[in-house]
Amino acid sequence: MANSLIKLLIVLTTLFIFISICVDCYGQVFATINYKGNNCYQIEITISNKGPKTLILEAHLSHNNYLKKAIPSPISYNKRRGVIKWILSHNQRGHISILIWTNKSGNIKAFLKFRNPLTKTFQVIYLKK
Amino acid sequence: MSEKKYQIPSKIPIDGDKIKKRREELGLTQLYVASIVGVTTDTISRWENKKYPTIKRENALKLAKALEIDIIELIKEEKKQNNKEINEPKTINHNVANEDIGKIDNNNLKAKKSKLTITKNIITYVFLILLLTICVSFFVYYRRYHATHEVINVKRILPHYVAPGEKFPVIIDINIKGNSISSLILREHFPDSCTFIKSIPKATMKNIKKKELDWIFPANKNKIVVIYFLKTKKETPINKYLKFTGNITIKQGRYKQPIISNTILTIKYIHWADINGDLKIDDQEILTIFDELQGIKGSEYGKKKIEELWAAGSYHWDSKTHKFIPNNGK
């Protein structure tokens, strides 16, 4: 009987830890950066249910590489530093796609910044292609 | 006759009836037996009346000798049947029948182990019951506490700074815990140096002269967020603190709670979205503002202006135009 109770306690503890992990995963953000060819890069952002509503995307182009076009239009573009900035409010499905056309192919880095809706802490995701 | 070395336990379980019967068969008195064994007559009486379930090995051997029987005859039947194993000896030469005696020690050990296990189980039970009691007590206390005392958690979120003649938002965040709440009234008094622009949701009652706003909310809500926009007067002196007061009242005035602000709002040439007042709207600040005001139209709180100042990196106040100008290229 005592052993059964101990087992039950272990199961409940495991369940509690599992639920805690799930709660911690609440509001996750996944992002990828891909080269689509023709000097075009695509950044795809997927936000899980009840994730952050507002995100900042900062793309850094390599030296001598400049922006020709971007969809959606960025908030700012610093040509000298090659920094492009967006403020994104995601749609109902929590999926955002950004297309960047540059004058030539090269390395591109991106930083995705947002506030965790649960912990209210500031988080940054680093991407590179 | 084969002789083996066996271990005799230090304590031997005896059968009182057998001792008494054998003594009476031989016609011996308790005094006689006591004198042979070297104990008192009381002890013999207690052995016979099963008041002592076990006796010392030495006494058992002496008693067997006095009663002219083998020591095995003194041992309780059930114990004899259980004997199976023999361990390393403590040297004593004896009859083969005595091999069972050696095993009694093992049984005693097993009995002790069994007692120990039972004790452990009891401790485990007590611990689990205690744990359960603590959990239940905590749960009951938590429920009661939230149902009677900490029903409403309300706070006013103000910007840290605002420039003269600028529009800014005030957020009232109400969290209701428990189900015992009835409808509530939210009453806000804003400073004289501000003019009211708009509120979401719309105020149930406005008294612009008294600078008072009222909202009535039904009972079936656990979270209420009220946002209202004010504009400071251009002539408001710099470094002046703006004082806000307000309270929430539950039906029939049974419960009244003041609304506490998160900060003191100061008049300075700093944009209201610049939380730390460093003349820069950084990533964390813009995300905080946009997250707090999600669902509100951007035009209502100057979203584009905030984006512009954020993108520029820094800004300054232009006293001629009475506007914030982004420091582009700096």
Q: Would you say residue B312 has pLDDT above 80?
A: yes
Give the per-residue pLDDT at A22: 57
Give the per-residue pLDDT at A10: 85
Give the per-residue pLDDT at B179: 61
Q: How far apart are CA A5 and CA A125, in angstroms?
A: 44
A91-104 pLDDT per residue, tens: 656 788 899 999 88
Tokens representing residue B135 in the block: 């959990």
Domain locations in chain B as residue ranges: 3-74, 98-147, 151-326
Give the per-residue pLDDT at A27: 62
Q: Would you say residue B80 has pLDDT above 60?
A: no
Q: Would you tell me which CATH number, out of the four given (1.10.3430.10, 3.40.50.300, 2.60.40.3670, 2.40.30.10), belongs to the domain B151-326?
A: 2.60.40.3670
Residue B253, Cβ density class (10 Å: 0-12 exposed, 13-18 middle, ≥19 buried)? exposed
Of B128, B283, B305, which to mutate for an interface test with A (greatest number of A Cβ within 10 Å)? Answer: B283
Instruction: Work out the mean pLDDT of chain A and round it to a whole number.
Output: 83
Give the per-residue pLDDT at B73: 79
Q: Which residues pair with B258 in a beta bridge?
A: B247
- Averaged pLDDT for residues A51-75: 88
Give the per-residue pLDDT at B81: 46
Q: Which of B284, B286, B294 sits opposite A87 (nearest CB)?
A: B286
Q: What is the DSSP string of A80-127?
A: TTTEEEEEEE--TT-EEEEEEEESS---EEEEEEEE-TTT--EEEEEE
Give the per-residue pLDDT at B11: 79
Q: Would you say residue B97 has pLDDT above 60?
A: no
The answer to whether the beta carbons of residues B150 and B181 sit under 8 Å apart is: no
The answer to whether the beta carbons of residues B173 and B155 sit under 8 Å apart is: yes
Q: Best-predicted range by mean pLDDT among A57-61, A102-106, B106-110, B301-305?
A: A57-61
Q: Would you say residue B41 has pLDDT above 60?
A: yes
Q: How far apart are CA B79 and CA B274, in angstroms?
A: 88
Q: Contact B128/A75, CB-based, under 8 Å?
A: no
Q: Contact B294/A87, CB-based, under 8 Å?
A: no
Query: Helix, strand or coil for residue A54?
Result: strand
Strand pairing of B255-258 and B245-250? antiparallel
Give the per-residue pLDDT at B300: 76
Q: Best-predicted range by mean pLDDT among B98-112, B130-144, B282-296?
A: B282-296
Please indicate whether residue B79 or residue B287 has the higher confidence score (pLDDT): B287
Q: Could you tell me if A6 lies within 8 Å of chain B, comparing CB atoms?
A: yes
Q: Contact B307/A75, CB-based, under 8 Å?
A: yes
Of A6-20, B34-48, B312-326, which gets the smallest average pLDDT?
A6-20
CA angle at B274 for the pair B271 and B276, rounded to the nearest 5°: 130
Q: Which of B121, B128, B291 sits opposite A54 (nearest CB)?
A: B291
Strand pairing of B152-157 and B260-261? parallel
Give the per-residue pLDDT at B298: 72
User: Which band of pLDDT confidence, cut at 50, 70 and 90, is reported for residue A118?
Assistant: confident
Predicted TM-score of the model (pTM): 0.59
Q: Would you say residue B269 has pLDDT above 90?
A: yes
Of A1-5, B48-52, B95-99, B223-227, which gets the smallest average pLDDT?
B95-99
User: Which band of pLDDT confidence, cut at 50, 70 and 90, is reported for residue B231?
Assistant: very high
Percent of chain B with pLDDT over 70: 81
User: Which band of pLDDT confidence, cut at 50, 70 and 90, is reported for residue A117?
Assistant: confident
Q: Could you tell me if A5 lies within 8 Å of chain B, comparing CB atoms?
A: yes
Structure ipTM: 0.74
Q: How far apart are CA A118 and CA A54, in angstroms?
A: 14
Percent of chain A with pLDDT over 90: 16
Q: Would you say residue B79 has pLDDT above 50?
A: no
Give the per-residue pLDDT at B85: 42
Q: Would you say residue B330 has pLDDT above 90?
A: no
Peptide bond into B258 cis (omega under 30): no
Please indicate whether residue A59 or residue B179 has the higher confidence score (pLDDT): A59
Q: Would you say residue A1 has pLDDT above 80?
A: no
Give the per-residue pLDDT at B5: 45
Q: How far apart are CA B322 and CA B236, in angstroms?
A: 13
Give the per-residue pLDDT at B101: 55
Q: Which residues pair with B30 in a beta bridge?
A: none
User: Which band of pLDDT confidence, cut at 50, 70 and 90, is reported for residue B57?
Assistant: confident
Find tokens 């056309």 and name the residue. Answer: A101
CATH number of B3-74: 1.10.260.40
Widest pairwise Cα distance in chain A:
74
Q: Would you say residue A67 has pLDDT above 50?
A: yes
Chain B positions with Cβ closer than 8 Å to A: 121, 124-125, 128, 283-284, 286-288, 290-291, 294, 307, 310-312
Question: Which residue type sits at B257?
Answer: Q
- Averaged pLDDT for residues B290-309: 83
Give the per-residue pLDDT at B178: 66
- Averaged pLDDT for residues A106-122: 86
The answer to whether the beta carbons of residues A115 and A26 sit under 8 Å apart is: no
Sort out which chain A residues have CB atoms less than 8 A from B283's CB and list them.
56, 113, 122
Residue A76 CB neighbours (<10 A):
18
B21-30 pLDDT per residue, tens: 888 888 888 8
Q: How far apart are CA B256 and CA B238, in angstroms?
A: 34
The answer to whether the beta carbons of residues B244 and B188 sit under 8 Å apart is: yes
Strand pairing of A108-115 and B245-250? unpaired
User: Which band of pLDDT confidence, cut at 50, 70 and 90, is reported for residue B237?
Assistant: very high
Q: Would you say residue A25 has pLDDT above 70?
A: no
User: Which band of pLDDT confidence, cut at 50, 70 and 90, is reported for residue B92?
Assistant: very low
Name the minimum distance, in Å, from the CA of A122 to any CA of chain B: 7
B150-196 pLDDT per residue, tens: 467 889 999 999 999 999 999 999 887 766 566 788 999 999 999 99
DSSP state of A76: E
Tokens representing residue B187 in the block: 């009453």
